[in-house]
């Protein structure tokens, strides 16, 4: 037994020492296929997407090859929501959830590869955002220091070992260490896409939270920040209303039966986040449990409230543009799950009659997989030693190369 171990160790050392440098293998690959993984604040599913890198001088771009939304088992979803509540005893659960989500992410990769008939050996690398467990967007005192923080779970070592593919993960903390707020990160991809669409374009993402990147009339006007809630409040109300049978208001059907409660909406529009100057970011910490306690307690949940929450998403977006953009946008490209809610799309089209309001798919960028694709490309930039944060969006003091490498 002991003897066998020595032989194995010798064999292993030999294997490691003769293996070419990992990052040079990626650079030398003829066709660079990269997988992006993302689970957002909605905890609706794990998005896995395969992209092919398109070399383009200093700013490589990409083409989407295919994607899947991989289901999150109900008990794991419950566990993730428990972690958000940050109760005593969460730490052991967090530790295990990190590994469990790593396994789920690996499964998502293998299912995607099977669907698009690509073998793991053909994949250069995975860029994994993970699942945000907690995000401290504003400075808070911690034992004498003013700090921000962000914790994404879904252990990259598990993903790497289960798929045999190197993984770049844990992006946000590098931006925070450079003085930024670690969010939003997707403007990195928007910048690359903006070139083909032209000036005065807004990329609006509507996930759990809403966020935008605006490319103004002059090349130098760029702004990115979180506009406020996306689907988070709507989803919460629908889960309660349906007794847990539904996760979201599919195609806005429930909301369409209700009316906007204008007085209530007016109160919600007073939320201090909406008035804060960008750059700014928000999350479940402001529009999750706290919001429900302060703004929704004792209200009867039904179609009227769901309609009002949907309209809240629309109005916070409109309000953000009017307040913070120098000009009304010529083009508004909507991505994220909110692009599939017709009430949101109709509301935005009505509010901006002189702008072209379109979904990501209509603009040639997948509404569903854009975020996951952004993390795939960010992972690739890491291996190429290219900056992948966007300081004007996050407030970071300098560009940095975000990410950490886990080997199979």
Instruction: Examine residue 213 and tell whether it contacts ligand ATP (CB under 6 A).
Output: no
The DSSP code for 296 is: I
User: Which lies closer to Mg ion via its Cβ, residue 367 or residue 406?
Assistant: 367
Residue whose CB is less far from Mg ion, 45 or 320: 45
Name which of ligand ATP, Mg ion, none residue 341 binds, using a CB cut-off of 5 to 8 Å depending on partner kind.
Answer: ligand ATP
Q: Which is nearer to Mg ion, 40 or 228 (CB)?
A: 40
Beta bridge partners of 47: 38, 69
Per partner kind, with CB cut-offs from 5 to 8 A, the member of Mg ion, ligand ATP, none near residue 72 is: none
Which of the choices Mg ion, ligand ATP, none does residue 235 contact, using the CB cut-off of 5 to 8 A by kind?
A: ligand ATP
**Both tokens of residue 39?**
């689970």
Under the binding rule (CB under 6 A), the answer on residue 226 touching ligand ATP is no
Residue owning tokens 């960028």: 365
Query: CA 113, CA 118: separation in Å to the nearest integer?
Result: 5
Question: Which tokens go with 41?
Answer: 């604040």
Residue 190 within binding range of ligand ATP, rule CB under 6 A: no
Inter-axis angle of helices 156-163 and 90-115, nearest 10: 30
Each residue 315-354 as x (binds ligand ATP by CB under 6 A) or -, in order, gives: ---------------------xxx-xx-------------
Please identify, using beta-carbon distances, which residue of 231 and 406 lies nearer to ligand ATP. 231
Min dist CB 247 to ligand ATP, Å, is 6
Which of 150, 200, 231, 389 is close enough to bind ligand ATP by CB under 6 A? 231
Question: How much of the chain is helix, strand and coil, in % rounded to 5?
Answer: 45, 20, 30
The DSSP secondary-structure symbol of 294 reads I
Q: Does 44 bind ligand ATP (CB under 6 A)?
A: yes
Classify 247 as helix, strand or coil. coil
Minimum CB separation from ligand ATP for residue 187, in Å?
Answer: 13
Where helices occur in 72-155 by DSSP H, the ranges are: 74-85, 90-115
Q: Which residue is nearest to ligand ATP (CB)?
A: 337
197 contacts 204 by C-beta, under 8 angstroms: no
CB of 343 to ligand ATP, least distance (A): 8
Q: How many residues bind ligand ATP (CB under 6 A)?
A: 22
Q: How far is the CB of 6 from ligand ATP (least distance, A)?
A: 49
Kindly report the number of other CB atoms within 10 A of residue 179's CB atom.
14
**Least Å distance between CB 250 and ligand ATP?**
5
H-only helix segments in 116-185: 156-163, 172-177
User: Regarding beta strands 356-359 and 404-406, do their DSSP bridges make them parallel or antiparallel, or are they unpaired?
Assistant: unpaired
Residue 403 binds to ligand ATP (criterion: CB under 6 A): no
Of 204, 190, 211, 172, residue with least CA distance to 402: 172
Residue 250 binds what, of ligand ATP, Mg ion, none (CB under 5 to 8 Å, by partner type)? ligand ATP
d(CA 154, CA 159): 8
Cβ pair 27, 124 in contact under 8 A: no
Question: Which tokens sit at 109?
Answer: 């990769």
Say whether residue 209 binds ligand ATP (CB under 6 A): yes
Binding ligand ATP (rule: CB under 6 A), the pick from 67, 130, 166, 207 is 207
Tell me the CB-side half-sphere exposure of residue 337, using CA atoms within 13 A: 26
**Positions in the binding site for Mg ion (CB under 5 A):** 40, 44
248 binds ligand ATP (CB under 6 A): yes
Residue number, 122 or 247, with CB nearest to ligand ATP: 247
For ligand ATP, the binding residues (CB under 6 A) are 40-42, 44, 205, 207-209, 231, 234-235, 248-252, 336-338, 340-341, 371
């Amino acid at each position: 037994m002991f003897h066998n171990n020595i032989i194995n160790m010798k064999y292993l050392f030999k294997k490691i020492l003769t293996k070419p440098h990992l990052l040079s293998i990626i650079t030398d690959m003829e066709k660079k296929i990269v997988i992006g993984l993302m689970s957002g604040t909605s905890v609706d599913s794990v998005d896995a997407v395969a992209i092919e890198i398109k070399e383009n001088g200093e700013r490589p771009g990409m083409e989407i090859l295919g994607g899947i939304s991989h289901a999150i088992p109900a008990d794991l979803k419950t566990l993730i929501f428990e972690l958000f509540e940050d109760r005593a005893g969460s730490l052991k659960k967090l530790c295990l959830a990190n590994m469990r989500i790593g396994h789920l992410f690996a499964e998502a990769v293998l299912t995607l590869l099977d669907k698009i008939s690509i073998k793991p050996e053909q994949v250069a690398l995975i860029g994994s955002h993970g699942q945000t467990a907690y995000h401290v967007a504003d400075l808070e005192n911690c034992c004498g220091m003013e700090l921000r923080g962000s914790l994404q779970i879904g252990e990259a070592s598990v993903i790497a070992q289960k798929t045999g593919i190197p993984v770049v993960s844990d992006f946000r903390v590098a931006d925070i260490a450079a003085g930024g707020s670690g969010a939003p990160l997707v403007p990195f991809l928007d910048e690359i896409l903006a070139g083909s669409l032209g000036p005065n374009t807004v990329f609006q993402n509507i996930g759990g939270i809403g966020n935008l990147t605006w490319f103004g009339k002059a090349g130098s006007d760029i702004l990115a920040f979180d506009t406020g809630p996306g689907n988070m409040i709507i989803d919460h109300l629908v889960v309660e209303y349906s007794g847990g049978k539904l996760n979201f208001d599919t195609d806005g059907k429930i909301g369409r039966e209700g009316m906007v409660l204008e007085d209530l909406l007016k109160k919600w529009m007073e939320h201090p986040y909406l008035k804060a100057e960008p750059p700014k970011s928000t999350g479940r910490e402001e529009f999750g449990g706290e919001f429900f306690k302060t703004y929704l307690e004792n209200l009867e949940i039904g179609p009227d409230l769901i309609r009002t929450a949907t309209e809240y998403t629309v109005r916070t977006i409109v309000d953000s543009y009017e307040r913070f953009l120098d000009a009304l946008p010529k083009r508004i490209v909507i991505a994220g799950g909110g692009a599939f809610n017709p009430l949101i799309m109709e509301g935005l089209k009505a509010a901006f009659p002189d702008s072209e309001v379109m979904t990501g798919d209509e603009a040639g960028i997948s509404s569903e997989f854009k975020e996951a694709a952004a993390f795939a490309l960010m992972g690739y930039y890491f291996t190429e030693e290219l900056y992948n944060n966007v300081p004007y969006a996050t407030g970071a003091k300098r560009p940095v190369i975000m990410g950490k490498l886990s080997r199979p």
